[in-house]
């Protein structure tokens, strides 16, 4: 899954700040890939209101092949998996504090994360 930090952590508990640091989401609009398992899902529930996440339509087979075979784009492919900064939205976010299902931008967007990434890229 792909996670984007969408809110500031001013005045929040140290636990939330620590989880965001563990995910390498130190700045607003940083994005990173996270492998979902039971432990990571429980951890992500802590920062759910501060992130937007979903399942991007990334061609993972091409990425895995490039890293496995150490092809000519190996460095770019391996660096792609590290956290990176996305551009801020021109029109801004709709409602950072509201769940996506309720019309906001936070929490699980499922496949709709592709639209948000496209607007921020």
**pLDDT of 79 above 80:** no
Catalogue all structural domains in the chain, each as residue range(s) with its CATH number.
Answer: 2-120 (3.30.1390.20)
State how far the Cα of 110 lies from the Cα of 1, in Å rounded to an integer. 9
Q: Please report how the helices 38-46 and 14-22 are oriented relative to each other, as an axis angle in degrees rounded to 10.
A: 130
pTM score of the predicted model: 0.68
State how far the Cα of 42 lies from the Cα of 117, in Å rounded to an integer. 24
What SS3 state is found at 84?
Answer: strand
State how far the Cα of 24 lies from the Cα of 34, in Å rounded to an integer. 10
Phi and psi at 113, nearest 5°, equal -65, -30
**pLDDT of 90 above 70:** no
């Amino acid at each position: 899954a792909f996670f984007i930090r969408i809110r500031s952590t001013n005045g929040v508990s140290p636990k939330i700040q620590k989880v965001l640091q563990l995910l390498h989401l130190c700045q607003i609009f940083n994005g990173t890939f996270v492998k979902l398992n039971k432990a990571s899902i429980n951890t992500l529930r802590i920062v759910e209101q501060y992130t937007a996440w979903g399942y991007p339509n990334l061609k993972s087979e091409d990425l895995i092949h490039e890293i496995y075979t150490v092809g000519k784009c190996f460095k770019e492919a391996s660096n792609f998996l590290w956290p990176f900064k996305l551009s801020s939205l021109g029109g801004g976010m709709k409602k950072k504090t509201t769940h996506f299902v309720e019309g906001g931008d936070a929490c699980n967007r499922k496949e709709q994360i592709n639209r948000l990434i496209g607007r921020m890229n």
